[in-house]
Chains A and B, each alone.
Chain A
Amino acid sequence: QKEVEQNSGPLSVPEGAIASLNCTYSDRGSQSFFWYRQYSGKSPELIMSIYSNGDKEDGRFTAQLNKASQYVSLLIRDSQPSDSATYLCAVKAGAETSGSRLTFGEGTQLTVNP
């Protein structure tokens, strides 16, 4: 089992719809969770971080964390063509597992169709 798994893509949604990106992780001691956006040929850019159970909203983005289910998600409301990118889930596992470094999922490619 991979330490961080994301729903397989590619994911395609129409403009204006809600895009839902999912991520599960294996280390129950994980503490910090991040979503990065990566445009083709560019480097990853941090868009959301979440540390406690529940929802965290930032503009059109909402991150949801459920530590009991070891699940973190990213919702993008009113999706725009400019949201088309690969979204990477990253997890800071417990210190016993991997120290400070983040573990990244493989990414989910999102396409928003005009």
Chain B
Amino acid sequence: EADIYQTPRYLVIGTGKKITLECSQTMGHDKMYWYQQDPGMELHLIHYSYGVNSTEKGDLSSESTVSRIRTEHFPLTLESARPSHTSQYLCASQHRGNYGYTFGSGTRLTVV
């Protein structure tokens, strides 16, 4: 049973549209992360949060933004989608004790 949920699972959207990818976790974790991953390629950290009202940009420059108003919710928003945003987006939360991540099932985004 998943403790971290991402919606939608798949999304096909037109260029210029605004989209929000949802990520929610029920484990009460403070630390959450967004990664971008192209097929067969490595994970790239794009945003992270260490708690409510705390957000930071990751290692990979991204045109997306995030917010953290509630502990359990960490949505990612693209104001104007472009074909270059086509990728898989993975959300993860981090366990306090052992530092391991639990990943959501991901959102596969296609911008046409």
Binding site for B on A (CB under 8 A): 31-32, 34, 40-46, 49, 51, 86, 88, 90, 92, 99-102, 104-107, 109
Contact = CB atoms under 8 A, between A and B. Distances in A.
Contacts of B50: 99-100
A16 to B, nearest CB: 27
B106 A32 contact: no
B42 A100 contact: no
A43 B99 contact: no
Q: Which of A31, A43, A46 has the most CB of B within 10 A?
A: A43
A46 B102 contact: yes
A104 B42 contact: yes
B71 to A, nearest CB: 15
Contacts of A43: 90, 103-106
Contacts of B48: 101
Q: Which of B45, B99, B101, B106 has the most CB of A within 10 A?
A: B99
Interface residues of B, number: 21
A88 B43 contact: yes
Contacts of B43: 44, 88, 104
18 contacts: A31-B99, A34-B101, A40-B39, A41-B108, A42-B105, A43-B104, A43-B105, A44-B43, A46-B100, A49-B98, A51-B98, A100-B50, A101-B31, A101-B33, A102-B100, A104-B42, A104-B43, A105-B42
Contacts of A105: 42
B44 to A, nearest CB: 9
A86 B90 CA distance: 16
Contacts of B94: 100-102
B98 A100 contact: no
Given A41-B39, A100-B50, 13 more contacts: A31-B99, A32-B98, A34-B100, A34-B101, A41-B108, A43-B104, A44-B101, A45-B103, A51-B98, A92-B99, A100-B99, A107-B42, A109-B40
